[in-house]
């Protein structure tokens, strides 16, 4: 057994047992971050903070929420919103954070795509990020069900129905997921468990993994320069801080992050106090009613783009039914981002503005995602249906063309 001497401070006592000084060095004071990064690199810390807000506000909501089809709606809309002191505040904080977190996730993902931060050793960062995206999506979907309003019920109905399209086992799968033939009490209680227990735990583990995957390849930078971290760190440690291209995560870099975080929190609380309604669908203030289908059923804004890819195929093509085509396109849209590091055939990490064809590809992707999101909420009739169809086809084509475009960019550079 190791020898322990009398410690002179709490820090020393902990260091003897947990080697906290070495840990502190590796993860904080000698965790090197490039100087050449902008506010977009603060999104990760914003995401971690917003997740923290979701957990804390969620804990307070859970104290009064009742996962029972007869009680859920009133426990949210009456007990929490009207009876519990500051219940409204926690509900608004939770609802707004759930919406805003997706906005930041999308900015964070698009930043990664723009700067090519998913390749050349950063593949695991990307994959762990995508796993976070999928788990956050599941958390968003399960949480939306809990108030048991009309949209909670019918969105759950539509989305669980999609699993019916899985070959051979589809029908049985839908019943298995719902725990009943219909979306019912058993569905609500299992989604409650997922939302308040299993998914948050998985997210915490994935955030740990995501942070760890950053440690070896280091974060990318604005010019995608391949930095010699050892040499630059030496410069910094020997006092040559101005010349060095890197800064330590703690306390230097974190102060930049905290500045961006401060601005974000002002914006976030402004929404919480003055514009929370954007995060709450008016139809969801009516209790769930299996006998009355709302005129238009649509998910929350952050799922609209993939929902529109699903709906875009509204007619049969080559003997394949519109439903099956939509499902395949939906599966494609949700899976394709996972393999992005391998679809990009340009072996060099460069920002999009130094890759002419990729630059155009990137902005068409952004425009297409915006079109899909806007049309995803409109009734899919007449011209709207065709806009949805072309936007869905464009999305698929973009990813089919990506390997050729990226290869061409590399060849042109020589």
Contact positions vs ligand HEM (CB under 6 A): 41, 43-45, 47-48, 105, 108-109, 112, 115, 117-118, 122, 125-126, 129-130, 132-133, 136, 207, 210, 214, 219-220
Instruction: Identify whether the C-beta of residue 183 lies closer than 8 Å to the C-beta of residue 144.
Output: no
As measured in angstroms, the least distance from the Cβ of 3 to ligand HEM is 38
Q: Which is nearer to ligand HEM, 60 or 115 (CB)?
A: 115
As measured in angstroms, the least distance from the Cβ of 356 to ligand HEM is 21
Q: Which is nearer to ligand HEM, 89 or 252 (CB)?
A: 252
Q: Which is nearer to ligand HEM, 254 or 322 (CB)?
A: 254
As measured in angstroms, the least distance from the Cβ of 36 to ligand HEM is 11
Q: Which is nearer to ligand HEM, 48 or 166 (CB)?
A: 48
As measured in angstroms, the least distance from the Cβ of 377 to ligand HEM is 23
As measured in angstroms, the least distance from the Cβ of 126 to ligand HEM is 5
**Nearest residue to ligand HEM, by Cβ distance, number only:** 44
Q: Which is nearer to ligand HEM, 199 or 219 (CB)?
A: 219
Q: Which is nearer to ligand HEM, 119 or 311 (CB)?
A: 119
Q: Which is nearer to ligand HEM, 51 or 154 (CB)?
A: 51
Interatomic CA distance for residues 206 and 198, integer angstroms: 12
3-state secondary structure the chain: CCCCCCCCCHHHHHHHHHCHHHHHHHHHHCCEEECCCCHHHHHHHHHHHHHHHHHHHHHHHHCCCCCCCCCHHHHHHHHHHHHCCCHHHHHHHHHHHHHHHHHHHHHHHHHHHHHCCCCCCCHHHHHHHHHHHHHHHHHHHHHHHCCCEHHHHHHHHHHHHHHHHCCCCHHHHHHHHHCCCCCCHHHHHHHHHHHHHHHHHHHHHHHHHHHHHHHCCCCCCCCCCCCCHHHHHHHHHCCCCCCCCEEEHHHHHHHHHHHHHHHHHHHHHHHHHHCHHHHCCHHHHCECCCCCCCCCCCCCHHHHHHHHHHHHCCCCECCECHHHHHHHHHHHHHHHHHHHHHHCCCCCCCCHHHCHHHHHHHHHHHHHHHHHHHHHCCCCCHHHHHHHHHHHHHHHHHHHHHHHHHHHHHHHHC
* Cα 373 from chain centroid (whole Å): 16
Residue 248 phi, psi (nearest 5) = -75, 150
3-state secondary structure 2-47: CCCCCCCCHHHHHHHHHCHHHHHHHHHHCCEEECCCCHHHHHHHHH
Q: Which is nearer to ligand HEM, 64 or 338 (CB)?
A: 338
Q: Which is nearer to ligand HEM, 281 or 368 (CB)?
A: 368
As measured in angstroms, the least distance from the Cβ of 2 to ligand HEM is 34
Q: Which is nearer to ligand HEM, 34 or 326 (CB)?
A: 34
Instruction: Identify whether the C-beta of residue 410 lies closer than 8 Å to the C-beta of residue 347.
Output: yes
As measured in angstroms, the least distance from the Cβ of 224 to ligand HEM is 9
As measured in angstroms, the least distance from the Cβ of 101 to ligand HEM is 7
Q: Which is nearer to ligand HEM, 126 or 191 (CB)?
A: 126
As measured in angstroms, the least distance from the Cβ of 214 to ligand HEM is 5
Nearest partner of 337 among 305, 300, 291, judged by Cα: 305
As measured in angstroms, the least distance from the Cβ of 247 to ligand HEM is 13
As measured in angstroms, the least distance from the Cβ of 155 to ligand HEM is 22
């Amino acid at each position: 057994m190791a020898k322990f001497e009398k410690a002179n401070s709490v820090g020393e006592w902990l260091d003897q047992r947990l080697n906290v000084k070495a840990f502190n060095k590796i993860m904080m004071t000698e965790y090197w971050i490039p100087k050449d990064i902008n506010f977009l690199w603060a999104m990760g810390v914003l995401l971690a903070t917003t997740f923290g807000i979701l957990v804390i506000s969620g804990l307070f909501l859970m104290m009064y929420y009742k996962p029972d089809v007869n009680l859920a709606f009133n426990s949210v809309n009456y007990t929490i919103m009207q009876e519990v002191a500051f219940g409204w505040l926690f509900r608004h904080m939770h609802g707004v954070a759930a919406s805003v977190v997706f906005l930041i996730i999308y900015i964070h993902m698009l930043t990664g795509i723009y700067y090519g931060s998913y390749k050349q050793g950063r593949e695991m960062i990307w994959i762990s990020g995508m796993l976070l995206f999928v788990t956050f999506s599941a958390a968003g979907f399960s949480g939306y069900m809990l108030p048991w309003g009309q949209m909670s019920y019918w969105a759950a109905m539509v989305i669980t129905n999609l699993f019916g399209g899985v070959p051979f086992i589809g029908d049985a799968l839908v019943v298995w997921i719902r725990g009943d033939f219909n979306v019912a009490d058993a569905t609500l209680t299992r989604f409650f468990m997922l939302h308040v227990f299993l998914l948050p735990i998985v997210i915490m583990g994935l955030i740990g993994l995501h942070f760890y995957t950053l440690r070896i390849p280091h974060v990318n930078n604005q010019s995608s320069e391949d930095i010699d971290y050892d040499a630059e760190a030496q410069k910094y440690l020997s006092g040559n801080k101005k010349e060095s291209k890197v800064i330590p995560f703690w306390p230097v870099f974190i102060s930049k992050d905290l500045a961006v975080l401060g601005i974000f929190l002002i914006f976030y609380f402004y929404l919480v106090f003055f514009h929370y309604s954007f995060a709450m669908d008016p139809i969801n203030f009516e209790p769930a009613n299996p006998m009355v289908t709302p005129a238009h059923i649509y998910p929350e804004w952050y799922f609209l783009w993939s929902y529109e890819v699903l709906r875009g195929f509204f007619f049969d093509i080559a003997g394949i039914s519109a439903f099956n085509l939509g499902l395949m396109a939906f599966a494609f849209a949700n899976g394709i981002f996972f393999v992005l590091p391998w679809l990009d055939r340009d072996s060099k990490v460069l920002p999009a503005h130094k890759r002419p064809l990729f630059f155009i590809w990137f902005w068409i992707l952004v425009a297409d995602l915006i079109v899909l999101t806007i049309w995803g909420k409109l009734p899919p009739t007449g011209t709207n249906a065709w806009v949805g169809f072309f936007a869905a086809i464009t999305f698929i084509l973009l990813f089919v063309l990506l390997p050729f475009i990226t290869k061409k960019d590399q060849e042109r550079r020589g």
